Amino acid sequence: MDKTNLNLGQGRGLGRGGGRGRNKGGALGPGGFCVCAKCGEKISHQQGVKCTTIKCPECGHTMIREELLKK
């Protein structure tokens, strides 16, 4: 088959992608806080460290970015 004559069409497939993922595709920035959704403990967010990788120092539950908790 000659690959130079492929008909590429108009892109009318059933794909449902195209979203920008969490946070509308943007980072939340270096500042802010990580908050425990269980007990409410709040710690400063460290740049380059996802809040979800931190365990709450009070109860051990996973922390979440404050801006996401308020949604």
Beta bridge partners of 35: 42, 64
Instruction: Read off the pLDDT of each residue in 27-43 and give the average, rounded to a whole number.
Output: 87
* CA-based radius of gyration for the chain: 21
Instruction: Read off the pLDDT of each residue in 37-64 and give the average, rounded to a whole number.
Output: 94
What was the pLDDT predicted at 56?
Answer: 97
Report field, pTM of the whole predicted structure over 0.85: no
| Neighbouring residues of 3: CB distance < 8 A, sequence distance ≥ 6 | none
What was the pLDDT predicted at 69?
Answer: 77
Amino acid at 8: L
Of the candidates 13, 50, 11, the residue with the CA atom closest to the CA atom of residue 34:
50
